[in-house]
A and B are shown apart, each in its own frame.
Chain A
Amino acid sequence: MKFGRMKSHRRNRLLLIVFIVCAAGGATTFALFALNENINLFYSPEQIAQGEAPVGKTIRAGGMVLDNSVNRFGEGLGVSFIISDLKSAQVTVEFEGILPDLFREGQGVIALGQLTDEGVFVAKEVLAKHDENYMPPEVAAALEEAHGPGAVQGAGTGTGTYSGNQGGYE
């Protein structure tokens, strides 16, 4: 490899800079494209009920699982349940598979999936926190929005707890 009469260390430095600029530029473009395609926006039950959430796009929905709303159907592992902000908005979620251990009626959950034309949320993943006292911050915020601040006791970013708030000790 010869670059005219350039001295070897200068040549090296130039090559290096070109390499770094190309690599950094390429990687950034690539990363931003990938990021753009793979972010999942969160929608509260109210937003979904009011039709603010896009249909046929992967989004996340979260809320409290309504009591007596969990229904197994079909021959396989189909299940449906209703998530709500405990006020007025309700969204039916359908899921095929195994629910997480801490999935329970009356608990906050987040589902990843798509909204159909009929307004049913078809989830491909359902998340519940590995701690019964924890409420996902998104769900806590959605509940606060519906009920006003302070409505959700021990919820949100303040209490992703492994400890504390177990009741009765404080």
Chain B
Amino acid sequence: MIPEFGHFALILAFGLSIALAILPAVGVYRRDAMLMQTGPSIATGIFVFMAFSFGCLVYSFSQDDFSVAYVANNSNSALPIQYKISAVWGAHEGSFLLWTLIASGWTLAVATFSRGLTFDMKARVLAVLGLLCAGFAAFLLFTSNPFDRNLPFHPADGADLNPLLQDFGLIVHPPMLYMGYVGFAVPFALAIATLTTGRLDAAWARWSRPWTTAAWAFLTVGITLGSWWAYYELGWGGWWFWDAVENASFMPWLVGTALIHSLAASEKRGVFKSWTVLLAISTFSLSLLGAFLVRSGVLTSVHAFAVDPTRGLYILVFLVLVIGGSLTLYAFKASGIKSEAHFEWNSREAMLLINNLLLVVATASVLLGTLYPLLYEVITDGKKISVGPPYFNRVFVPIVCLLFLAMVVSPFSRWRKTSVDILIRQHWPFLLATPVAVCVVTYLVTNGIDMLAIGVETLAVWILVMLVRHWWQSGSINSASKLGMMMGHAGIAVAILGVVVTVTYSEERDVRMSPGDSLVVAGYEFTFEGVQKVRGPNYLADQAEFNVTSNGDFVAKLRPEKRFYSVAQNVMTEADIDPGLFRDVFVALGENVGESAWAVRIHVKPFVRWIWLGGLLVALGGFVTLLDKRYRRVREVVSINAVGSAA
């Protein structure tokens, strides 16, 4: 009965979502305060039923109810309990249930924490969110019901979760990612609601900022965890592949980054307002596009989900309606929006504009590379191509390097106009000393000069040095916003350092080794001790043992595995890593290549952790800005003003 309860709760949530889409909107239209106020209670209802529905699926997984088709296809009685729970979002149906649950959660959050909004605005925003929730729930009910039964003949045991997903990464990565994707629905809804009123004021931008930053910070965590997961679990030591689905998560992040910056300018100075609205629409549209790419199977990707054509078609239609509808509204309403302020080329506004342009161009280049295979197939009548990582590296890297250059000076630029004195004269000793120091250190450590690497390292160190100097000068950081901004920028610099050092100075070897063989890579000596059979809860593994030493001193014993999952009949590589702040030692086991010899992959990757530490620091910076007292205080002021102007 439990799955039927879950299904029924999902239907109720769908019905309530439609009510949320309609009732407050009708209230606005008829100026009926009663109807306008229905929003929060309906939103609570949606969330409660969604949570109940989700809980039912979790329960079915934990009880091994293989009469439910989705459970039978993605779980197994031998699966450890934590993976049974995370298997709920291990495939298409359940992950979209999580997506919809999170959408209802954000809706409830908006309904609860929106004292700053006028009645009228709140009703409009909730109606838009209700419409989105209804769209998501309908998608579940009509194309991807996770509660479908396998009756009357259900299997005795499940087909097991894809071994790749039996990992801590699956437990945390998708929920964080979806918090980000779906969270962008809030600034989207707010932009749409504001467009319908035709009043884009500072209150709108101020109200959007914390929501946008929260969603963006979650997305940052999600992408960072995904990269880390790929590194240790895909087994081959890469941390970013320019895979279509990675790009699908990266594009909303890039545009979202542009959005949080342009919102700052819109709030503080009233500039770029219509541009900001367009960014808010684009960010959420790209999130939906990501969902479409992942779930429709139009692109070849390691992440592609189960698909049938109706699902792809449904999302495509939904996508067209959401993007088409919002852009049409924008076209009609945005012409009335005027920005009042003017600014100089060296002002903070101009810096934010540069940030926005570069981020949007970077996004466009990623979008082009991601969708080009589709375009090409249509244009050439079925010829299939792939766009490789070299394209992305060639185009994306120069654009972001310009962006990093702007990041060096932008944090201490001033609104309206920054004097050249502040911009250059006070800083030139630092600007000059940094490249020299980077050159010297790089030469001492690596005995070589790689100009490209040194250039990018210099950019990163510049950003850090200028942040520290700025901090020093201003004595103390008095607002959470400012602290968060500085942490975010510092995080980017840390991640840049991680990327450039890893890419330039990693040593990677694929070799054939027999027990007793040893090999020196980057000063570490790897001795292959042998392979033994190991039994896990639902797999059998060949476990190799490597002794790693450096100048005769013991460093680590690494035991990479080749696992065979008996139910899923899948082979999985489980790399073993000796992590370190300044270097990772990575060993993965390939296949047995005759007698006792094995193919072995050995990596020594300096600074690779900095990529993810940087990413987490960026996200933490985002969360810190949410603590800014200003948002709470100002919101009260805004609500008073808003009530005043509405009256």
**Contact of B524 with A by CB under 8 A:** no
Interface membership of chain A positions 127-168, coded 1 if the CB is closer than 8 angstroms to chain B and 0 otherwise: 001111010111001000000000000000111111110101
| A34–B395 touching, CB < 8 Å | yes
| B511–A101 touching, CB < 8 Å | no
| A163–B297 touching, CB < 8 Å | no
Residues A74-91 near B (CB distance < 8 A): 75-77, 79
Q: Is the interface of A mostly helix, strand, loop or mixed?
A: mixed
Specify which chain B residues have a CB less than 8 angstroms from the CB of A166 in the assembled complex: 73, 159
| A131–B593 touching, CB < 8 Å | no
| A164–B361 touching, CB < 8 Å | no
Instruction: Tell me which of B300, B343, B391, B511 contacts A35 (CB under 8 A).
Output: B391
Residues B272-301 near A (CB distance < 8 A): 297-298, 300
Instruction: Tell me which of B91, B93, B383 contacts A41 (CB under 8 A).
Output: B383
Instruction: Tell me which of B309, B344, B391, B573 contacts A38 (CB under 8 A).
Output: B391
Which interface residue of A35, A72, A110, A141 has the most chain B CB atoms within 10 A?
A: A35
**Contact of A6 with B by CB under 8 A:** no
Q: Nearest Cβ distance between residue A98 and chain B, in whole angstroms? A: 4
Instruction: Tell me which of A20, A97, A112, A132 contacts B569 (CB under 8 A).
Output: A132
Q: Nearest Cβ distance between residue A79 and chain B, in whole angstroms? A: 8
**Number of B interface residues in the complex (CB < 8 A):** 71
| A39–B386 touching, CB < 8 Å | yes
**Contact of B322 with A by CB under 8 A:** no
With known contacts A38-B394, A77-B511, A1–B345 Cβ distance under 8 A? yes
Cα distance A12–B387 in the bound complex, in angstroms:
38
**Contact of A2 with B by CB under 8 A:** no
Instruction: Tell me which of A19, A101, A129 contacts B571 (CB under 8 A).
Output: A101
With known contacts A12-B343, A72-B593, A169-B150, A27–B74 Cβ distance under 8 A? no
| A35–B361 touching, CB < 8 Å | no
Q: Nearest Cβ distance between residue B146 and chain A, in whole angstroms? A: 10
Interface membership of chain B positions 117-147, coded 1 if the CB is closer than 8 angstroms to chain A and 0 otherwise: 0000000000000000000000000000000
Specify which chain A residues have a CB less than 8 angstroms from the CB of B364 in the assembled complex: 27, 31
* A binding-site residues for B, Cβ under 8 Å: 1, 8-9, 12, 15-16, 19-20, 23-24, 27, 30-31, 34-35, 37-42, 60, 72, 75-77, 79, 97-99, 101-102, 110, 112, 129-132, 134, 136-138, 141, 157-164, 166, 168-170
16 A-B pairs with CB atoms under 8 Å apart are: A9-B342, A12-B344, A30-B395, A30-B398, A31-B365, A34-B390, A38-B388, A38-B394, A41-B384, A41-B385, A97-B599, A98-B599, A99-B591, A130-B162, A134-B304, A136-B300
Contacts A19-B357, A101-B570, A131-B162 known; list 14 others, CB within 8 Å: A1-B345, A15-B345, A20-B357, A31-B364, A31-B365, A31-B368, A34-B390, A99-B599, A102-B570, A161-B306, A162-B90, A163-B74, A169-B69, A169-B159
